[in-house]
Amino acid sequence: DTGVSQNPRHKITKRGQNVTFRCDPISEHNRLYWYRQTLGQGPEFLTYFQNEAQLEKSRLLSDRFSAERPKGSFSTLEIQRTEQGDSAMYLCASSLSADTQYFGPGTRLTVL
């Protein structure tokens, strides 16, 4: 399968713990995006990388959130000191251009 992959698919954690998610983009794609989706809503943009450079961050991305894309390949999204409001589906997408972003299956986070 050459699509976007995300791990883990599900994560249950206790409030206050740190969690890290991984995204592996489609191999030739130089752009990588993180979005968050809550029930009944469309995805909301969090941040975006072109190669290893983080070019844009949403105001939704508080200082508890950090994303990296070392060497312009896979990316990680870390949430520190998780809160119940962080419970959501975290989606990763990759592309060669803005208009054709291909999404992975997502990581569903539940914070107890």
Partner 1 sequence: QKEVEQDPGPLSVPEGAIVSLNCTYSNSAFQYFMWYRQYSRKGPELLMYTYSSGNKEDGRFTAQVDKSSKYISLFIRDSQPSDSATYLCALASYNTDKLIFGTGTRLQVFP
CB nearer to partner 1: give 80 or 87: 87
Q: How far is the CB of 41 from partner 1 (least distance, A)?
A: 6
Instruction: Indicate if the alpha-carbon torsion angle 39, 89, 3, 7 is positive or negative.
Output: negative
Question: What's the rounded Cα separation, in Å, for the pair 31 and 54?
Answer: 10
Tokens representing 35 are 């979005």
Q: How far is the CB of 81 from partner 1 (least distance, A)?
A: 26
Query: Nearest 5°: CA angle at 91, between 7 and 107?
Result: 35
CB nearer to partner 1: give 48 or 86: 48
CB nearer to partner 1: give 45 or 74: 45
The contact set with partner 1 (CB under 8 A) reads: 4, 31, 33, 35, 40-45, 48, 55-56, 58, 91, 95, 98-106, 108
